[in-house]
Amino acid sequence: MTNARPWTVRRMTVLVALLLPAIAGITWLSRAVGSAREAARAAQCTCHLKCIGLAMLNYESAHGSLPPAYSTDAAGRPLLSWRVLILPYLELQALYSRFRLDEPWDGPNNRLLLDEMPGCYACPTHQPGVGSSAPGRFTNYLATAGPGTAFPGAEGAKLADFRDGPDRTLLVVESDQVEVPWTAPIDLDARTGSLINANAPDSSTRGPTTPHPSGLHVATAEDRILRLDPEKLRRALAAVSTIAGGEVVERDDLEPAPR
């Protein structure tokens, strides 16, 4: 029987030297594939926001104002999110017609529709596998709401009142800071960066957040989709969310984030 040659330091060094290029190549390929997949997911995220923004503008054309942040009952209590109200303008009239408009989002009928969230309300980077696995129910797209914004509450704003310029006023931002049921009247308080609505789940994170390395996606009232630096946006959130506040917004606050 032939005895195996012992593994000397020299032989190990030669073997490692031979393997290193292959390992480096595999690592590079893996990173390249990962980057390509993330770029595709980011592009899909911008498409989702584009559809949402266009639906809002079509709602405004039909109703004379943007959708309210939420519908209310006779006592003024929030019922359903704007995400439900724009369903007909996302070509989802059939789903919209199944909602009880006089019932809250978590009422006996409406809570059964939570698992039928449209795919355009989920970012594939935030929620990997969306569209190919079990239906989602938590949205990644929140309106920037509160006094002076496009979503002050139970009434929708008119585009004619956007004196700060629709191209410099935000409507919707992506955020993964907390799980928000898509039908719930929960959005982002433009003044504080926290979730707005008494029924909102607790969130220790302030301001919109994103897992996209390339930046955070937002939709403006001009239906432009911007990719912004998350930290800069958190600092300027109130200024870029009001429709007629007259705040001075630095140019680089609305510049795309570096790739």
Domain boundaries, the chain: 20-254
Q: Which of 222, 220, 152 is nearest to 191 (CA)?
A: 152
**Euclidean distance between CA atoms 48 and 193, whole angstroms:** 22
**Euclidean distance between CA atoms 51 and 171, whole angstroms:** 13
**pLDDT tens digit sequence for 222-257:** 888 988 888 888 888 999 999 986 666 655 555 555
Which pLDDT belongs to residue 78? 94
Q: Give the number of other CB atoms < 10 A from CB of residue 141.
A: 26
Q: Which pLDDT band, with edges at 50, 70 and 90, does 132 fall under?
A: very low
The pTM for the full model equals 0.80
Is pLDDT of 201 > 60?
no
**pLDDT tens digit sequence for 149-191:** 999 989 999 999 998 888 889 999 998 777 889 999 999 999 8
Token reading at 104: 């809250």
Residue 70, CA atoms < 13 Å, CB-side half-sphere: 28
**pLDDT tens digit sequence for 52-106:** 999 999 999 999 999 999 999 999 999 999 999 999 999 999 999 999 999 999 9
C-alpha of 238 from chain center: 17
Which pLDDT belongs to residue 231? 87
Q: Which pLDDT band, with edges at 50, 70 and 90, does 16 fall under?
A: low
CA-based R_g, the chain, Å:
23
